Amino acid sequence: MPHQSLRPRVPRSRRLIACAFACAMVLPAASWAVDWGKTAVAEVSLFYPGQMSWEKVLTASSHKGATKFRAGETCHDCHRDEEAEMGASQAQLTGFAGRNAVTVQLRAAVQGDSLHLQMSGPAVDGKAPSVAIMLGNEALKSTAQAGCWAACHDDAPGMASDSGQKLGKYLPRSRSRNTATGGGDSVRPQAELDVALTAGEFLDVLEIEASGTGERGHVLDKLHMGELVGAASMRIENGRWVAEIQRPLQAAGSGQIALEAGKVYHLGIALHDPGSEGREHLVSLARSLSIGSGSADIVAASQ
């Protein structure tokens, strides 16, 4: 197939302007080869989660779904299409003044040996947010069932059991003592964390800053962020922000999840509007992602 036909169908003038910005920053020319018009759109609802931590979700006195959640039902099983309502009620409960909810369009494609993701949504005051994707595999049941919530604890900054511990995101798997107030400083020895890393029991994180800078990292004992090998970009187009990120399918080292054709993974999206920090974010419930083909909420078809 001629290379030209794979380019997105945008007027030549706009393409040149976009490229003048994007190519000057971080986006290699190869990125333009993804034809987003050929990909399916998944509408993903994000909402303000308040202080509903992993521990609160598991506790019957703070969450009506706790018993069935413990028995294995997923957040999405029970709360599909309730996100906006939950965001509004949590915002009211905690006096949060930002957006309660937003719908993000997610597209995915595989090209060569890379996964490409595109997200877009309405911009506030014409400004781009920062967006992050947490990706996991079936090795860790808690994240397959709950997505980001497995990393969201009651002793994190701004949460109900925060007493200045300055703990960020972590997975219960990394702690030896998980209580109703969180796992605190009971971090398992490095040798045990290494076993979890080898087994794929962590969340692989991709982040796109409002500036378009991409980062890559993982969550296990804490959030480790580093350089993105791949490409990322952010732009504003017709009042919407459009974020794109690309990563190799293969894992290049510890803390990276290898993506294999035909397999299903799960992901959660988090968005920070300009000026919001920490838990003042909008998050999605976990969705499934399949690579190449298969049945999932989002299929990253090969191009």
Which residues of this protein are in contact with ligand HEC, per CB under 6 A? 49, 52, 57, 63-65, 68-69, 73, 75, 77-79, 86, 89-90, 146, 149
What is the DSSP secondary structure assignment for residue 209, as one 8-state letter? -
Min dist. Cβ of residue 47 to ligand HEC (A): 8
Q: What Å distances lie between residue 190 and 102, 187, 195, CA to CA? A: 39, 9, 9
Min dist. Cβ of residue 154 to ligand HEC (A): 13
Containing H/E element for 205?
Answer: strand 203-208
End-to-end CA distance of the chain: 11
CA atoms within 13 A on the CB side of 300: 29
**C-alpha to C-alpha distance for 205 and 81, rounded to whole angstroms:** 25
Nearer residue to ligand HEC within complex by CB, 286 or 298: 286
State both tokens at 226. 């580093």
Dihedral sign, Cα of residue 228, residue 230, residue 235, residue 237: negative
Min dist. Cβ of residue 93 to ligand HEC (A): 7
Beta strands in 48-202 (DSSP E): 101-111, 114-122, 130-136
State both tokens at 9. 């169908």
Min dist. Cβ of residue 161 to ligand HEC (A): 17
Nearer residue to ligand HEC within complex by CB, 42 or 57: 57
What is the DSSP secondary structure assignment for residue 129, as one 8-state letter? -
Nearer residue to ligand HEC within complex by CB, 90 or 276: 90
Residue that has been written with the tokens 């350089």 in this structure: 227
Phi, psi of 106 (to 5 degrees): -115, 130
Nearer residue to ligand HEC within complex by CB, 49 or 255: 49
Min dist. Cβ of residue 105 to ligand HEC (A): 22
Min dist. Cβ of residue 144 to ligand HEC (A): 11
Nearer residue to ligand HEC within complex by CB, 136 or 214: 136
Min dist. Cβ of residue 94 to ligand HEC (A): 10
Nearer residue to ligand HEC within complex by CB, 57 or 300: 57
Nearer residue to ligand HEC within complex by CB, 84 or 223: 84
Return the residue nearest ligand HEC (CB atom): 65
Reduce the DSSP state of residue 264 to 3 states and report it: strand
**C-alpha to C-alpha distance for 59 and 250, rounded to whole angstroms:** 38
